[in-house]
Amino acid sequence: MPDPGGKPSVAEKRNIRAVMNSLERASARRTASERAADAVTTALGRPLVLAIHVCFYGAWLVWNSAPGFWGLRPFDPFPFSLLTLSVSLEAILLTLFVLTSQNRIRREADHHAHVDLQVNLLAELEATKMLGMLQSLCAHFGLEAANDREIDDLRARTDPERLFETIRESLPSDT
């Protein structure tokens, strides 16, 4: 049993190393456009960038809303066509960068979900086998648990296809 405040066990270290190796491989497999999208979304997703945007567009509005304010002549008078164009183009580009990053993240999450499913199915198979062995031992030694109905139910192999179909039928329809 692991020590709650102690060092990680050998198995924990092995699992952490495997996860980190998987993340490093996924990062190395990114295309140039995915790396660029990740860099842009990381850089532009900071509070400082939000503050810069608020200040920049606020200054733009003040400059172009108050003719003669500080002696400045408006370069984009109301209805701010140039500002609208600028903000629209920025929104389109940022959306594309974010979608590119999100698609990559979704693919990685799907891959991890598949790995989780495989590990869970293997664990279920191992547990089923151990229950069978335990039930055999109980029967050999004449213990009551050998005829337990619940253990018999648990020993039945799980059919993932049947389980997926049952879940799919239980979900509410999208209409």
Nearest-angstrom CA–CA distance, 127 and 151: 11
The total number of structural domains that make up the chain: 1
Does residue 89 fall inside a structural domain? yes
Does residue 162 fall inside a structural domain? yes
Domain that holds residue 148: 11-170
pLDDT digit string, tens, across residues 2-48: 566 788 889 889 988 988 998 899 999 999 999 999 999 999 999 99
Helix 81-140 to helix 32-44 angle, to the nearest 10 degrees?
110
Does residue 3 fall inside a structural domain? no
Does residue 86 fall inside a structural domain? yes
Contact of 40 with 96, CB cutoff 8 Å: no
pLDDT digit string, tens, across residues 111-167: 999 999 899 989 988 998 898 888 888 888 888 766 667 777 777 778 888 888 888
Does residue 6 fall inside a structural domain? no
Does residue 2 fall inside a structural domain? no
Does residue 5 fall inside a structural domain? no
Does residue 117 fall inside a structural domain? yes
Tell me how crowded residue 43 is: count the other CB atoms within 10 A of its CB: 11
